[in-house]
């Protein structure tokens, strides 16, 4: 296929692949690096869970990497607020948290971002504006709406990025939050990561209406559906929504259609879908492969990609080593960092 000349710089790929948003080679390499980091990190987390080094539940983000990376392009780190559910490792890494601290937290070590007391589902990191993964389905939506309220109350121009899944989209507190957000024109971006199966039931069998981007229509909240396997589509959609929020025009809903390759959690064999279905998505819609295709059009070399791959491999290996060498929290930490007074 003939390649049309770029309209801006020679590194722009919008004219080289039909319907592809514009992006520089440098940006694409950065997206590739961040997405590969999430995937390789999650693969190792899955291995550590199988070895018994990670306890409790563990929900992997493999397949959904383009969502968190695309959203993060519009986040003012440390100023804006990010909050999500229990499938949260990818969001942490995209937000800029140290992989060593994330892995140490997964393994319950003192070197973790929450001193080993939060584990997989309950990490926080205020410096990056990450206000946690949350284990109660949909609860983070009300909390995220509160973060948006705080930003508007203070007049600090911050935006709250509130992630939740297609399963949580049917929770009652979500709609109470929508009502307040629109009533008060709060700067909240509601990002519905629709991976189509919630815990293990397809959206067609669990939701009376499957157009989740329109769930705010009765409150007057606009929304749109986005290809969550395309990091550039996510980036561009979020950018528009954030500009609207910062301008004081209120909340926005983005239904990001994505797909998780693994089960709901590490204990889920995912028998509710066929291997052929998963393989077809991996073959035709993988978000990292899509960026690779864009990079090929932008004249990136195999050596450039291999350099990134090797760098990420070393980063993840270092994170695992740090986690294994970090000690467990001392029993004296049991009552710290909680709102409780302990009598002598």
Instruction: Provide DSSP, 11-31.
Output: T--TTTSTTPPP--HHHHHHH
pLDDT at 6: 41
Mean pLDDT over residues 315-340, rounded?
A: 91
pLDDT at 335: 85
- Cα–Cα distance between 231 and 239 in angstroms, integer? 12
What is the pLDDT confidence band of residue 9, given thresholds at 50, 70 and 90?
very low
pLDDT at 337: 84
Which residue has tokens 């319950």?
108
pLDDT digits (tens, 9 = 90+) for 131-176: 999 999 999 999 999 999 999 999 999 999 999 999 999 999 999 9
Mean pLDDT over residues 248-253, rounded?
A: 98
pLDDT digits (tens, 9 = 90+) for 169-217: 999 999 999 999 999 999 999 999 999 999 999 999 999 999 999 999 9
- Cα–Cα distance between 164 and 174 in angstroms, integer? 9
SS3 175: helix
Token output for 27: 């940006």
Which residue has tokens 């929900």?
59
Give the orientation angle of helix 99-106 with respect to helix 25-50, to 10 degrees.
20
SS3 160: strand
Token output for 254: 């983005």
pLDDT at 8: 39
- Cα–Cα distance between 310 and 278 in angstroms, integer? 27
pLDDT at 2: 39
More confident residue, 23 or 343: 23
pTM: 0.91
pLDDT at 336: 87
Mean pLDDT across the chain, nearest whole number? 93
Which residue has tokens 């949260």?
88
17 pLDDT higher than 60: no
- Cα–Cα distance between 340 and 315 in angstroms, integer? 37
User: What is the enclosing helix (H) or strand (E) of 309?
Assistant: helix 302-325
- Cα–Cα distance between 317 and 40 in angstroms, integer? 10
- Cα–Cα distance between 254 and 197 in angstroms, integer? 18
Mean pLDDT over residues 300-320, rounded?
A: 97
Please state the separation of Cα 35 from the chain's center in Å. Answer: 10
Q: Which residues contact 315 (CB under 8 A, 6 or more apart)?
A: 37, 99
pLDDT at 266: 94
CB 14 within 8 A of CB 7: yes
Burial of 181 (0-12, 13-18, 19+ CB in 10 A): buried
Mean pLDDT over residues 234-239, rounded?
A: 98
1 pLDDT higher than 60: no
Strand-pair category, 160-165 with 81-83: parallel
| First vs last C-alpha separation in the chain | 76
Q: In what order do the strands lie in the sheet with 160-165?
A: 81-83, 160-165, 188-194, 252-257, 223-227
Q: Which residues contact 26 (CB under 8 A, 6 or more apart)?
A: 11
7 pLDDT higher than 60: no
309 pLDDT higher than 70: yes
10 pLDDT higher than 50: no
Please state the separation of Cα 227 from the chain's center in Å. Answer: 14
SS3 163: strand
- Cα–Cα distance between 141 and 147 in angstroms, integer? 10
Mean pLDDT over residues 246-263, rounded?
A: 97
What is the pLDDT confidence band of residue 339, given thresholds at 50, 70 and 90?
confident
pLDDT at 338: 80
CB 238 within 8 A of CB 254: yes
Mean pLDDT over residues 51-79, rounded?
A: 96
pLDDT at 5: 39
Q: Where are the beta strands (DSSP E) in the chain?
A: 81-83, 160-165, 188-194, 223-227, 252-257
Token output for 286: 């993988």
């Amino acid at each position: 296929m003939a390649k049309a000349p770029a309209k801006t710089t020679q590194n722009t790929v919008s004219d080289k692949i039909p319907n592809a948003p514009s992006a520089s080679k440098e940006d694409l390499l950065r997206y590739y690096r961040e997405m590969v980091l999430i995937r390789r990190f999650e693969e190792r987390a899955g291995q550590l869970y199988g070895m018994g080094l990670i306890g409790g539940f563990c929900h992997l983000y493999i397949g959904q990497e383009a969502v968190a990376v695309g959203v993060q392009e519009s986040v003012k780190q440390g100023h804006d607020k990010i909050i999500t559910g229990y499938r949260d490792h990818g969001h942490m890494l995209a937000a800029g948290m140290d992989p060593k601290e994330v892995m140490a937290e997964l393994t319950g070590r003192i070197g973790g971002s929450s001193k080993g007391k939060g584990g997989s589902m309950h990490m926080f990191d205020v410096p990056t504006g990450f206000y946690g993964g949350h284990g109660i389905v949909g609860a983070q939506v009300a909390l995220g709406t509160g973060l948006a309220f705080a930003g508007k109350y203070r007049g600090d121009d911050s935006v709250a990025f509130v992630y939740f899944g297609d399963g949580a989209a049917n929770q009652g507190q979500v709609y109470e939050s929508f009502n307040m957000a629109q009533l008060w024109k709060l700067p909240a971006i509601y990002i519905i990561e629709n991976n189509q199966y919630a815990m293990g039931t397809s959206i067609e069998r669990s939701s009376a209406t499957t157009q989740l981007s329109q769930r705010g229509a009765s409150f007057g909240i606009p929304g749109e559906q986005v290809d969550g396997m395309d990091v550039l589509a996510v980036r561009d959609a979020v950018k528009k929504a954030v500009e609207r929020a910062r301008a004081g025009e209120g909340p926005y809903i983005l239904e990001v259609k994505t797909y998780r390759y693994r089960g709901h959690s590490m204990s889920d064999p995912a028998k509710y879908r066929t291997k052929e279905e998963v393989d077809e998505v991996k073959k035709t819609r993988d978000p990292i492969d899509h960026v690779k295709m864009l990079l090929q059009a932008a004249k990136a070399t195999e050596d450039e990609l291999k350099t990134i791959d090797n760098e990420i491999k070393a980063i993840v290996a270092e994170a695992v080593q740090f986690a294994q060498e970090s000690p467990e929290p001392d029993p004296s930490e049991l009552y710290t960092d909680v709102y409780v007074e302990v009598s002598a």
